[in-house]
Structures are given as C-alpha cells and as structure tokens.
Amino acid sequence: MQRSIYLRPVGIFPAPADPDEATFAGLPLAGQPLRFTTVEIAERHGSRVSRRIVTLGDAVERDWGRGTIDAARDLEALSAPRPRLAGLALDRPRIMGIVNVTPDSFSDGGQHDEAQNAIAHGLKLAEEGAEILDIGGESTRPGADYVPVEEELRRVLPVIEGLRARTDALISVDTRKAEVMRRAAAAGADILNDVSALTHDPEAMTAAAESGLPIILMHAQGDPRTMNDNPQYSDVVLDVFDYLEGRILVCEAAGIPRAKLITDPGIGFGKHLHHNVAVMAALSQYHALGVPMLLGASRKKLIDHISDVPNPRDRVPGSLAAALVGAAQGVQIIRVHDVAATRQALNVWRASAAGSEKVLA
Ligand code: PT1
C-alpha cells in the first residue's frame, strides 16, 4: 500500500479550554487539547519525496494532481476526536505502565515470587498514575530470544489474573501469539498489544478479531533478534505510515472495526538512530490514520545514542523528554517504565500549556 500525498499537522498550539470554533484558527488535533493551523504536504514521486508547508485552506483547495478529496478526508481524520478505549477517554495523554514478566526483570525468587513481584509492581504503577498496565512475557528488545508459548503463558496469566482482581487500571497484554491473546482475553485483559501488528502468528488475526478487544498495531521491520542489523527505508516516516495504513485495512477486512485499532510507529524496532529521530519529529503525521496513537520510547537505546547513557536505568530524563515530544504532537498513549516521573512531567506540561491548574482536576 503506498500513497502519493501525505498530510502532517505542523503549527500545533495548545487549544483554549473551550474553543469557539468560529473565532479560532485551525482545527483540533486528534481529540487532544491542541490545535494545528498548517500542514506539511509530502508528495512521493517514485523514490523522491518533496515537502512543503501550506495553510489548511490551501491544502483542501489546491489541486494536488490527484484531486482535493484526499486532503479533505485526511484533515477530517487528523482532527476527529478518538473514541474511548475500553472505557478510557482519550482526550489527553494517558500513561501505559510497563510490567515485564521476564526472568531478567523479576528473577530473584521462584516462579511464585516472579508473579507476586510483577503484580506488586503493576499495582504500584497504577497508584502512580498509569491508566493502562502492559503485561509482557516475551522480551522484544533488539537481540532478544524467542519464548515458547507455554512459557509465555506461564509468565503472564497469573499476573493478568492477579492484577484483574486488584485494580481498575486497564490491562493490556504485550504478545505476538494467538494462544496468549485468547487466554489473556479470557483472564480479563482489556487490550491486545502486538509489536508485529498481527503478522507474526498466522492465527493472531482471527484470535484478535474473535476476542473483540482493542488492538495496538505496531510497526516493526524484521524480527526482534536481528531487526536493527540493517534496516532499509525509502522514506522512514512515510514507509511506516504506509505499513500502518495497510495493517488497518487488513484488520478491517478481517472484521475488526477501525474504532478498535490503535497504531504505534515502533521506536527502536528495525530503526537506526536517524530513523528513530525522523519518526519522533513527525509523530503528528500518524494522526492521519484516524485512530489513537501510542508512543514507546522509554529507556530505549536511541537515548543512549543521542546522549551517551549506556545504562537504561539512567535514561529517565531522556524518556521524559520523549514523552513530552509525544504529548506536544497529540500522542494519546505513552508507554513508560517510570510512571511517577512521567505523570509529573505531563502534569506540568498540561497545566502550563493550558495556562490553568484546573486541567489537572
Ligand atoms: C513499543 C514497545 C512495545 N516496546 C508497543 N509495545 C517494547 N506497542 C515492547 C531499544 O532500542 O514501543 N510499543 N513492547 C520494548 N522493545 C524495545 C525495542 C526495547 C527497542 C528497547 C529498545 O533499546
């Protein structure tokens, strides 16, 4: 799937609390407390891309060769409020807290301890302000090894069950496997998070559709084990867009409504530093997909590459900067390890952007 014209909102500013549409320029951005007044138009000519920034009026009225209908449809997708996600309003950035259930994260005790520690960690993240807890039993970090399905089930099911009984936070399961999706849904998970966008397991599309749950579709190039060896793109920002748009269409064809889909450009998944920062700079582009967006940059290697921080635990400041870059571009869900720190940063951002502490109430 490849388009020839792409719209990216630029000129984004915090919206007044109750904008009178007649007196404010621009359009709301993807249901966020933000508006945009101009768009960058990217046009693909084969392997060449040209970009220019124009007003919203010019974007709709000018003849872009393929007609003006596409631009109007994209502006609608860019500005429409997003539906609730499993009951959670997406009218401002929400925090997804990471709960890894892998031996290297909670390994000091036996298997029972591993689950209990993960549950305790999830409860702490919920208390700190995570609206979603993302439970993962297979590391998909660069170079990570494959985990058999039985082992992944053994890791995540007790944690999903334990958290389901003890918190109102939404629970997502970070898995590429159909069987884990099915069993997690039965155990009370609210959201499926698949870093392969339902491409890894041939049964995953059916399992996801049958679950009726919302699904996070992430872009990755290649398999986690080898993905960062030699990633190739024509234009990374647009190639990721095309991939996600294609996956949305495949999901719709399989009976999953667009209202159940969330996209994620997949920071660190088959991307070198220059690819990652190009995507970070252009996040608002992905709102044209018309669905909520998730950003996961927490403690990732790009922070080390930019700022020489070899130990992931020392990457909290860079992770907060990435979260704010996302928030300022209308990202609805931010996936992080450090929930309390991210909550604080987002609260200061929201209050200062709105010019009112009342937004925090
Ligand atoms: C993510 C994500 C994820 N990231 C979603 N799920 C991971 N939806 C796991 C590095 O470069 O961004 N979005 N599930 C973790 N994967 C990585 C990838 C961890 C790269 C670290 C790096 O350091």
Alpha carbon distance 312, 142 (integer Å):
13
In this structure, is residue 86 part of a structural domain? Answer: no
- Containing 45, the helix (H) or strand (E) segment is strand 34-45
Q: Are residues 108 and 152 in the same domain?
A: yes
Tell me, in angstroms, the distance from the centre of ligand 1 to residue 183's CA.
23
Residue nearest to atom 2 of ligand 1 (CA): 296
Residue nearest to atom 3 of ligand 1 (CA): 195
336 lines ligand 1 (CB under 6 A): no
- pTM, two decimals, is 0.96
Q: Are residues 283 and 312 in the same domain?
A: yes
240 lines ligand 1 (CB under 6 A): no
Q: Are residues 68 and 124 in the same domain?
A: no
216 lines ligand 1 (CB under 6 A): yes
* Identified catalytic residue from 300, 301, 315, 350: 300
294 lines ligand 1 (CB under 6 A): yes
Q: What is the mean pLDDT of the chain?
A: 93
**19 pLDDT tier (thresholds 50, 70, 90):** low
The predicted-structure confidence for 126-183, as pLDDT tens digits, reads as follows 999 999 999 999 988 888 889 999 999 999 999 999 999 999 999 999 999 999 999 9
Strand, helix or coil for residue 13: strand
Any long-range contacts for 112-121 (C-beta under 8 Å, 24+ apart)? 114/155, 115/155, 115/158, 115/159, 115/162, 116/162, 118/159, 119/158, 119/159, 119/162, 119/163, 119/166
In this structure, is residue 84 part of a structural domain? Answer: no
Tell me, in angstroms, the distance from the centre of ligand 1 to residue 207's CA.
23
Domain final residue pick, 50, 79, 108 = 79
Q: Are residues 139 and 268 in the same domain?
A: yes
Give every CB contact of residue 173 below 8 A, 6+ residues apart in sequence: 134, 135, 136, 156, 160, 180, 181, 184, 189, 191, 192, 193
Using the CB atoms, write b or e for 167-203: b if 16+ within 10 Å. bebbbbbbbbbbbbbbbbbebebbbbbbbbbbbbbee
Q: Are residues 38 and 153 in the same domain?
A: no
Look at residue 33 and tell me whether its pLDDT is greater than 60.
yes
Q: Are residues 44 and 128 in the same domain?
A: no
Atom of ligand 1 nearest to the CA of 140: 16
The predicted-structure confidence for 212-242, as pLDDT tens digits, reads as follows 999 999 999 988 888 888 899 999 999 999 9
Alpha carbon distance 94, 173 (integer Å):
17
Q: Are residues 55 and 117 in the same domain?
A: no
Q: Are residues 40 and 161 in the same domain?
A: no
Residue nearest to atom 12 of ligand 1 (CA): 296
Is residue 101 a contact partner of residue 113, using CB atoms and an 8 Å limit? Answer: no
Residue nearest to atom 19 of ligand 1 (CA): 141
- What pLDDT does 61 receive? 85
299 lines ligand 1 (CB under 6 A): no
In this structure, is residue 58 part of a structural domain? Answer: yes
Bridge-based pairing of strands 5-14 and 94-100 is: unpaired
- What pLDDT does 240 receive? 98
In this structure, is residue 176 part of a structural domain? Answer: yes
Look at residue 210 and tell me whether its pLDDT is greater than 60.
yes
Give every CB contact of residue 316 below 8 A, 6+ residues apart in sequence: 299, 338, 341
296 lines ligand 1 (CB under 6 A): yes
The DSSP symbol for 86 reads: T
- What pLDDT does 223 receive? 86
In this structure, is residue 46 part of a structural domain? Answer: yes
Burial of 257 (0-12, 13-18, 19+ CB in 10 A): exposed
Domain final residue pick, 79, 105, 132 = 79
Tell me, in angstroms, the distance from the centre of ligand 1 to residue 116's CA.
24
**69 pLDDT tier (thresholds 50, 70, 90):** low
Tell me, in angstroms, the distance from the centre of ligand 1 to residue 265's CA.
10
- What pLDDT does 1 receive? 63
Could you tell me the residue range of the domain that residue 115 belongs to?
94-360
CA 67 to chain centre: 31
Length of the chain, in residues:
361
In this structure, is residue 88 part of a structural domain? Answer: no
Tokens of 358: 């009342």
- What pLDDT does 130 receive? 98
Residue nearest to atom 6 of ligand 1 (CA): 195
* Residue whose C-alpha is closest to residue 77's, from 320, 289, 308, 336: 289
Look at residue 110 and tell me whether its pLDDT is greater than 90.
no
Bridge-based pairing of strands 215-218 and 261-264 is: parallel
- Other CB atoms within 10 A of residue 126 CB: 23
Strand partners, 50: 43
Q: Are residues 120 and 25 in the same domain?
A: no
140 lines ligand 1 (CB under 6 A): yes
What are the Cα distances from residue 169, in Å, to 86, 125, 187, 209?
Answer: 10, 10, 15, 23
At position 6, the amino acid (one-letter code) is Y
Mean local confidence (pLDDT), 14-30: 81
Q: Are residues 102 and 217 in the same domain?
A: yes
301 lines ligand 1 (CB under 6 A): yes
In this structure, is residue 259 part of a structural domain? Answer: yes
Residue 205 sits in a domain whose CATH number is 3.20.20.20
Tell me, in angstroms, the distance from the centre of ligand 1 to residue 21's CA.
38
Tell me, in angstroms, the distance from the centre of ligand 1 to residue 66's CA.
37
Q: Are residues 65 and 121 in the same domain?
A: no
- Containing 192, the helix (H) or strand (E) segment is strand 191-194
Number of domains the chain is built from = 2
Mean local confidence (pLDDT), 103-109: 59
Return the best residue to mutate from 180, 300, 306 for the ligand 1 pocket (most ligand atoms within 8 A of CB).
Answer: 300
Alpha carbon distance 205, 257 (integer Å):
13
Q: Are residues 53 and 142 in the same domain?
A: no
In this structure, is residue 89 part of a structural domain? Answer: no
Side-by-side strand order, sheet with 94-100: 261-264, 215-218, 191-194, 170-174, 132-136, 94-100, 333-336, 294-295
**89 pLDDT tier (thresholds 50, 70, 90):** very high
The DSSP symbol for 255 reads: T
- What pLDDT does 100 receive? 95
- What pLDDT does 24 receive? 81
124 as an active site residue: the answer is: no
271 as an active site residue: the answer is: no
Domain final residue pick, 79, 107, 123 = 79
Look at residue 104 and tell me whether its pLDDT is greater than 80.
no
Look at residue 18 and tell me whether its pLDDT is greater than 80.
no
* Residue whose C-alpha is closest to residue 217's, from 262, 159, 185: 262
